[in-house]
Amino acid sequence: MNESRLAQLFKFLEDDPNDAFTLYAIATEYRQENPQKALEYYEKLLTEHENYVGTYYHSAKLYEELGQNDVAEQTYKKGMLISRREGNMHAFAELQQAFNKMMGLDYEDD
């Protein structure tokens, strides 16, 4: 975790508390060393910026890593719904592939 980058991001957040990208960047900074803290920021994004498609893949993956597969499943599904609605088929495909893998439906590796 880069402390100076995190400090800069918090300054950006102070200037614009509703900036989805800044919240996402903060979550990403916390991701490796403090997954629970990262999850707090991902959940804030999921609640307050539900159309910010990039959040779904990373938050669902984190839920998976934390053993919360039911929440991960719901997050993938909602992300697929939102990304399709937003016309972001790249994000949709990534979410679908990760969801299928989690559900044991990924046949490519067999």
Say if 108 falls within a structural domain: no
Q: pTM for this one?
A: 0.89
Per-residue pLDDT band at 110 (split at 50, 70, 90): very low
DSSP 8-state assignment for residue 107: -
Q: What is the pLDDT of residues 16-47, one digit of tens each?
A: 999 999 999 999 999 999 999 999 999 999 99
**Could you tell me if residue 109 is inside a domain?**
no
| CB 45, CB 20: distance < 8 Å | yes
Is pLDDT above 80 for 3? yes
Which of 71, 44, 65, 69 shows the shortest CA–CA distance to 55?
44
Q: Check: CB of residue 76 under 8 Å from CB of residue 102.
A: yes
Q: Please provide residue 62's backbone torsions phi and psi, each rounded to the nearest 5 degrees.
A: -65, -40
Does some domain include residue 49? Answer: yes
Q: At 13, which CATH number? A: 1.25.40.10
Q: Is residue 110 part of a domain?
A: no
Structural domain boundaries, residue 92: 3-103
Closest to 83 measured CA to CA, from 41, 40, 50, 45 = 50
Domain contains 90: yes
> How many structural domains compose the chain?
1
Express each pLDDT in 53-70 by its tens digit: 999 999 999 999 999 999
